[in-house]
Amino acid sequence: MGAGLYRIAIELNDDLIVKIAYNDMGVDMNKREFENYNLFVDNFPRIYGHGSSREGDGYDWLIMEKVNVIDKENKSLLLNWFPEIKDIKDYFDNEYPEYLYDEFDILAESFERCNQELPGNEDIFKKLFNNDTFKDLCGAIAASETAAGDLLAGNLGYKGERFLILDIDL
C-alpha cells in the first residue's frame, strides 16, 4: 500500500491493513496512532490490535481498518464533507491569483486557525468553522497535538460517511 521513513502499510485483505514500524520512531508513531484512535474513535481509522515482535505488549505493528485515501487525484472528495472549501478557494483564486491554493492548502490553513478568533476580514472562513465535521476534527487535532500541516494529500481519508485522519507525524 505504501511506505514512509518509519513505517510500511501492507494490505492484509479488502478490509484490513497492518502498519509495521521500521524503527523506534515508527513504534512511537504506532503507539500515538493507537492512543489517538482510543480517544477519538470517530476521527481515526479503527484499530483492531497491536503487538510486538519482541517481548511485551508493544506497538511494532497495528492492525487497522482499510480506508479510502484522499489524495491530489481525488481531492474534490473533500467537498463531500467540507463544501465551504469551494467558496474559500474561489475567493482566493479571485483575490490572490498569484497564489495557487488547492483544497488541501485551504483545509490545512483552516485547521491551523480553528481554535483562534478570526479577524474581521476572514468572514469567508466562518461557514467552514461552523461545519460539524470541521468542528469535531478541530477538537481532535488540538487534543491529539496533531500538526495541521500533517493533514495533506494522502494523510486524510474516509470510510463510508466517516472523514478520517490517517497518518500523523510526531
Q: Which of 33-42, 91-100, 142-151 has the lowest mean pLDDT?
A: 142-151
pLDDT tens digits along 14-37: 999 999 998 888 898 899 889 888
pLDDT tens digits along 52-62: 877 656 999 99
Q: Give the HSE-up count for residue 123: Cα atoms under 13 Å, Cβ half-sphere.
A: 2
170 pLDDT band (50/70/90 cuts)?
A: very low
Domains of the chain (ranges, CATH numbers): 2-66 (3.30.200.20), 69-165 (no CATH)
For residue 92, what are the contacts with CB-CB under 8 A and spacing of at least 6? 99, 101, 106
Residue 111 to residue 115: CA distance in whole angstroms? 8
Mean pLDDT, all residues of the chain: 85
pTM (2 decimals)? 0.81
Residue 45 confidence (pLDDT): 92
pLDDT tens digits along 71-119: 989 999 999 999 999 988 898 888 888 887 888 888 888 888 776 766 5
